[in-house]
Amino acid sequence: MGLDITVMIADWSWLGEAPPRERLPRLRDAWYADEPGLWDHDAPTVEGDWEWPRGPAGAFFALYEFRRTCGSFKPHFWAGERWEAVRDHVRPLVRADVDTLLLGLIWDGPDGEAQYIDPGFFSDDPTVSYGLLVARSPGGVRELATTWHRIRPRLDGLREVFTEHAAQPGAWIGEFDEFADLLEDWGRVLTEAARRGWGVVGLSE
């Protein structure tokens, strides 16, 4: 679990211009482009906000800075673990929605077989898709965003059950507010991507 994760939204039509094997390299090349001024390094990184690149590809993707994570995948992993500790104590409708959201992004699920990558858009060749942690096309993003909007007004209702069954102060996602912040950040990513008709991609560095 020493992975870092960079979460971005991306224009699916821009990626779709390339053959599947070339789409992930295209995104990586744009992200790592060596053009002067692509990233405004003098500007402070703001947690809970977007970072938009400059240059020719700057209109096609943006990075989101999650709060309380320092760019690590560990908080995302532990959010799934905390959810496993509380889900049996949550009302069925809420449990089903949070299951759907987390299974679509960061949680392996009760059987450990969740898939976070929509098939077919990126290459299935592991030598090409290495480092791809999450890939949701616009259709999948819209479904997850809709699920998030159902969860959002009910999220604080999980506070008591989380505190009773999952809290571990000082650990990753050890308190309810950390869990809620992480879900809200994913909600912002999904909402913005759905508004634009874009996809969501999570890459390890």
Compute, in degrees rounded to 10, the torsion defined by CA atoms 101, 106, 110, 112: 140
- Are 201 and 28 in contact by the 8 Å Cβ rule? The answer is no
pLDDT tens digits along 145-168: 999 999 999 999 999 999 999 999
Kindly give the parts of the chain with pLDDT less than 70.
Answer: 1-2, 34-44, 205
> Model-level pTM greater than 0.75?
yes
The tokens describing 32, both together, are 């790592």
Q: Domain boundaries in the chain? A: 6-203
Specify the pLDDT at position 1.
47
Phi-psi group of 117: left, alpha or beta (phi > 0 → left; psi -120 to 50 → alpha; rest → beta):
beta
- Are 68 and 12 in contact by the 8 Å Cβ rule? The answer is no
